[in-house]
Amino acid sequence: MLRYAIKRLLLMIPVIIGVSFLIFFIMDLAPGNIIDTKIAEENMTDEEAEMLREQYNLNGSMISRYFKYMGGLVRGDLGKSYITGKPVLESYLEKLPATIVLAAASILVSVIISIPLGIYSAIKRGTFQDNTCMVLSFLGLSIPNFWLGLMLIITIALNVKWIPTSGFRGIASVILPAITVGTGLTATLARTTRSSMLDVLNQDYLRTERAKGNSEFRVVMRYALVNALIPIITIAGGQFAACLGGSVLTETIFAWPGVGRLIIDSVNSRDVPMVVGCIIMKSFSIGLVVLCVDLLYAVIDPRIKAMYARGRRRRK
Amino acid sequence: MKKLISLLLVLALAVSFCFANGASEGKAAPVAQVEYKDTAVIGFQTKTSSISPPTQTSVMHRLFFNLTHDTLVDYDEETSSLKPGLAKSWTVSDDFKVWTFVLRDDVYFHNGEKFTADDVLFTWEFAKDDGSTNATVKTTYNKIEAIKVIDDTTVEITLKNGDIDFLYTYSNESYSVLNREAVTADAAKGPGIGTGPYMNDEFVVSDHTTLQRNEKYWGELPPTKTLEFRFISDATTRLAALEAGEIDVCQGPNNTEHNIIRANDDLILYVCPGMNLTFLAFNSEVPALNDPNLRLAIAYAINDQEIIDGAASGVGSVSDGMWGFFTYGYYDDWAGAGLASYQPQNIEKAKEYLAKSNYPNGGLTIRMTCNSAWTVGALQIIQAQLKALNITVEVQQLDSAGFTSMTKAKEHEVVIQSAALTGAGGDMAKFFTAGNTANTATYNNEKVTELFKLAGVEKDEAKRKDYYKQIQLIIHEEAPYIPLYYAGTGVAYSKKVSGAVWNGSGKFDYSQVKVEK
């Protein structure tokens, strides 16, 4: 299993090379550069603009800038922001805790809502209740985040004193943003739960369990759900990884100091080292989460664990 | 297992809520005397990225520098005049080249160092070399030939060329005095140490800035111990935070939400006439647009009030000239000079000018570019208004960087943009003389350039004002730019707040702000 994990981590290297090149290329194609955003704030003469261009090595080709950047990356240096002059990694890590908290809370909200909905729908398959549950889960997806966020602020935060309207101040402040992001994730997760449960519910071993006199609740929760968990975890893990990239709209509305806004602000000001650095960190963390999810399969499913063990024996 | 984890998390949440509740402050018994809070919380709208004055020139940065640092001379926005700061008095040579300042002897930096003339010299050396990459700051500092420390309280600044407006520029917070010892010891945090009424305590980019009172401040001591500035970019959320009592001041509420603030008895809305002018700039390098008659026709066909009402929710005031109404040498007696004001809209006059232009019957298409959602609205209104002249407007929206890249390459036709104007007459030259990135009209008129040069060294106020008047008359007749309106600067605050100074530039002064308990 360790070998597998190391192999997967090594596979991330070509991914990061590809991602960074793509971002460099796209940022180079975008109209405007860092000098232009600086000009928008300051009045510059042509010589001053030229001086800055030299400073940021903007006269050289995109390829030369890319290799210079990658040279730094090999030594673990993600570069410095054009705007603040601070190391990119430092800025990113500053925003990461808030992002992880929001991502985890959002997944929690999503899981709490969608798994019961999915199970219930599967049990009541084809009935009115089933359709209602699926419509409800879609409602979460169809309501735009910015609208839901503002409505929650106006209706809840203004009336409930201990829930703050915005910012990352204490654990109470995560409730509203987590509901906003979490409800948007329910549709996919609820549908996955439903179909995965449907596959399992018709299996013979469940009939056996019922025949043994187990209650229906126990049959569903203990035997059906656990066997249906793999696809659910895959989807939830993927959603968590995506959340780690930040949710720009929600972060903006709730003044949440996360990485999503950091990336968007940097794109708008053409702060290339910041954008590339953040995206590299983002792909790295997504890769890491996906790996963790894969390893989690072995914990949940004994068959997969046995497979790893068999592989080891065979190699011996 | 999963259920158990979920359950534990929910439990943890519940426990923390209880603590959040328990932390609420106890109510004090009512007393006759008004008591003030130790902390004032201000919600602001534009991100700040540095605590070092020479690196930033935006209004929001200057608001902070104004609290943490001091300049030799202060600019009083209310009276549009200069007043002493760290310098008690100053004199200037006849050619406006040598400025001599007598400095205060009782000022200390936040790190305990005494403020001396040497710090003035150091700030200049630091900023013009590697302390700043800000072009505006560098340009100003490069105008200085030398700074001579005569003694601890006397400093002499010699400029390369005489500049009558030097103090207007130099009074800007970006030229605040830094401390040699502090910056030498720590080049990153050192520039954040100044002589101002508040000290930098905590600065987290795009989240918050906390300032603590400087107990040894040389001027009037601030009444509030701590100022906390929270960056809340969404205006609706910012207002909600004010309504919920989390912040005491909400800067820049949405224009569309002014009615909500007015309806709330606990809140006060203040709208001041802004100093940010929104205007159209015509690229004179586009042959079709290099025609004063066509530009004048457009100027008279536009209805500014309609734009203010439609695109700015009625918050703003009509502008009739590219010269700020608060800028030195402002002139607006168009009738007295035999000219007609652009406003109110005058379609007859517009058609007269159009008849004299290269497109007597209209029929041309003009591409107008903007870089924000609300300027799109303004352009759409102009698009409708210019139909009366049979001129088709093609509206294009870009992001900020793309927009500037286009104007810099002079690939634009017409752009709508805003600029913060200042009190210095000479500062207007950036719009009307070649070699400035602000000159998006690519305007170049030798007479105007000459007049700016003459005014820049003229000691006689009447003559100087006359030069500026001549410039304004020329640009009124040639219309390289069409001024539209000044956007109003709004601020909403709790009824318990007092002592803050709100002004049109948006550089509010919180040094004396206090909040009733």
Whether B362 is in a domain gets the answer yes
Write down the pLDDT at residue B3: 55
Looking at the structure, do residues B285 and B175 belong to the same domain, yes or no? no
**Domain-ending residue, one of B189, B208, B230:** B189
CATH number at residue B182: 3.90.76.10
- CA A114, A117, A119, A125 torsion: positive or negative? negative
- Tell me: the pLDDT tens digits for B377-430? 999 999 999 999 999 999 999 988 888 888 888 999 999 999 888 888 888 998
Tell me the nearest-neighbour CA distance from A232 into chain B, angstroms. Answer: 12
- Tell me: the pLDDT tens digits for B277-298? 999 999 999 999 999 999 999 9
| Among the partner residues A44, A153, A157, nearest to B437 by beta-carbon distance | A44
Judge whether residue B503 has pLDDT over 90.
no
Mean pLDDT of A166-173: 88
Cα B93 to Cα A268, B185, B290, B382, distances in angstroms? 46, 36, 42, 49
ipTM comes to: 0.81
Q: CB pairs below 8 Å between A and B: how many?
A: 165
Q: Which band of pLDDT confidence, cut at 50, 70 and 90, is reported for residue B7?
A: low
Mean pLDDT of B76-82: 83
Q: Which band of pLDDT confidence, cut at 50, 70 and 90, is reported for residue B8?
A: low
Judge whether residue B25 has pLDDT over 50.
no
Tell me the two tokens of residue A47: 């010589």
Q: Which band of pLDDT confidence, cut at 50, 70 and 90, is reported for residue A49?
A: confident
Q: State the DSSP code for B57.
A: -
Q: Does B186 touch chain A (CB under 8 A)?
A: no
Q: Which band of pLDDT confidence, cut at 50, 70 and 90, is reported for residue B27?
A: very low
Looking at the structure, do residues B474 and B359 belong to the same domain, yes or no? yes
Domain with CATH 1.10.3720.10 in chain A: 96-257
Looking at the structure, do residues B167 and B87 belong to the same domain, yes or no? yes
Q: Does B233 touch chain A (CB under 8 A)?
A: yes
Q: Which band of pLDDT confidence, cut at 50, 70 and 90, is reported for residue B4?
A: low
Query: Which class would CATH give A96-257?
Result: mainly alpha
Write down the pLDDT at residue B174: 94
Q: Do A261 and B57 touch (CB under 8 A)?
A: no
pTM above 0.90, yes or no: no
Mean pLDDT of B215-244: 94
Looking at the structure, do residues B169 and B294 belong to the same domain, yes or no? no
Helices (H), chain A: 2-29, 34-41, 46-55, 62-74, 88-123, 128-142, 145-152, 175-201, 204-211, 216-218, 225-244, 248-253, 259-268, 272-300, 302-315
CA proximity to B212, closest of B220, B85, B186, B202: B202
Q: Which residue has the tokens 């596959």?
A: A199
Write down the pLDDT at residue B387: 94
Judge whether residue B22 has pLDDT over 70.
no
* Distance between CA atoms of residues B138 and B155, nearest Å: 20
Write down the pLDDT at residue B13: 47
Torsion of CA A296, A298, A304, A310, to 10 degrees: 140
Whether B30 is in a domain gets the answer no
Write down the pLDDT at residue B475: 94
Q: What is the DSSP string of B381-450?
A: HHHHHGGGGT-EEEEEE--HHHHHHHHHTT--SEEEEEEE--S-GGGGHHHHSTT-TT-TT----HHHHH
Contact B44, B231 (CB under 8 A): yes
Q: A47-56, A81-90, B72-81, B405-414 — which is least confidently predicted?
A: A47-56
| Among the partner residues A30, A157, A172, nearest to B244 by beta-carbon distance | A157
Mutation choice for B interface testing from A102, A165, A173 by most B CBs within 10 A: A165
Tell me the nearest-neighbour CA distance from B188 into chain A, angstroms. Answer: 9
List chain A residues with CB under 8 Å of B140.
Answer: none
CATH number at residue B330: 3.10.105.10
Looking at the structure, do residues B427 and B481 belong to the same domain, yes or no? yes
- CA B28, B34, B38, B43 torsion: positive or negative? positive
Higher-scoring residue by pLDDT: B1, B263: B263
Looking at the structure, do residues B300 and B414 belong to the same domain, yes or no? yes
Q: Which residue has the tokens 């000459």?
A: B450
| Among the partner residues B231, B243, B405, nearest to A32 by beta-carbon distance | B405
Contact B342, B482 (CB under 8 A): yes
Q: Does B4 touch chain A (CB under 8 A)?
A: no
Contact A213, A254 (CB under 8 A): no
CATH number at residue B56: 3.40.190.10
**Domain-ending residue, one of B131, B154, B189:** B189
Q: A59-63, A134-138, A172-176, B311-315 — which is least confidently predicted?
A: A59-63
Q: Does B275 touch chain A (CB under 8 A)?
A: no
Judge whether residue B183 has pLDDT over 80.
yes
Mean pLDDT of B44-52: 89
Q: Does B148 touch chain A (CB under 8 A)?
A: no
Q: Which band of pLDDT confidence, cut at 50, 70 and 90, is reported for residue B17?
A: very low
Paired sense of beta strands B497-498 and B514-515, if any: antiparallel
Looking at the structure, do residues B449 and B310 belong to the same domain, yes or no? yes
Start-to-end CA span in chain A (Å): 14
Looking at the structure, do residues B53 and B78 belong to the same domain, yes or no? no
Q: Which band of pLDDT confidence, cut at 50, 70 and 90, is reported for residue A216?
A: confident
Q: Quick one: how far is CA B260 from the chain centroid?
A: 26
Write down the pLDDT at residue A311: 63
**Domain-ending residue, one of B189, B211, B235:** B189
Judge whether residue B1 has pLDDT over 60.
no
Judge whether residue B15 has pLDDT over 80.
no
Judge whether residue B485 has pLDDT over 50.
yes
CA proximity to A228, closest of A263, A268, A177, A192: A192
Tell me the nearest-neighbour CA distance from A283 into chain B, angstroms. Answer: 23
Q: Which band of pLDDT confidence, cut at 50, 70 and 90, is reported for residue B457?
A: confident
DSSP lists the bridge partners of residue B417 as B279
Q: State the DSSP code for A156.
A: I
Tell me the nearest-neighbour CA distance from A270 into chain B, angstroms. Answer: 7
Judge whether residue B336 has pLDDT over 80.
yes
- Tell me: the pLDDT tens digits for A100-115? 999 999 999 999 999 9
Torsions phi, psi for B290 (to 5 deg): -85, 60
Helices (H), A143-174: 145-152
Domain holding B217, by residue range, is 35-68+196-266+495-517
Write down the pLDDT at residue B253: 92
Closest A-chain CA to B431: A43
* Distance between CA atoms of residues B414 and B406, nearest Å: 11
Q: Do A166 and B435 touch (CB under 8 A)?
A: no
Looking at the structure, do residues B284 and B150 belong to the same domain, yes or no? no
Write down the pLDDT at residue A296: 86
Whether B313 is in a domain gets the answer yes
Looking at the structure, do residues B327 and B439 belong to the same domain, yes or no? yes
Instruction: Return the HEC string of B272-334.
Output: ECCCEEEEEEECCCCHHHCCHHHHHHHHHHCCHHHHHHHHCCCCEEECCCCCCCCCCCCCCCC
Q: Identity (one letter) of the amino acid at A11?
A: L
Q: Which band of pLDDT confidence, cut at 50, 70 and 90, is reported for residue B351?
A: very high
Looking at the structure, do residues B349 and B433 belong to the same domain, yes or no? yes
Instruction: Return the HEC string of B114-165.
Output: ECCHHHHHHHHHHHHHHHCCCHHHHHHHHCEEEEEEEECCEEEEEECCCCCC
Write down the pLDDT at residue B21: 42
* Helix orientation angle between A272-300 and A302-315, rounded to the nearest 10 degrees: 100
Q: B30-44, B253-267, B468-482 — which is least confidently predicted?
A: B30-44
Tell me the nearest-neighbour CA distance from B131 into chain A, angstroms. Answer: 11
Q: A94-103, B9-18, B377-386, B428-437 — which is least confidently predicted?
A: B9-18
Total count of domains within chain B: 3
Whether B171 is in a domain gets the answer yes
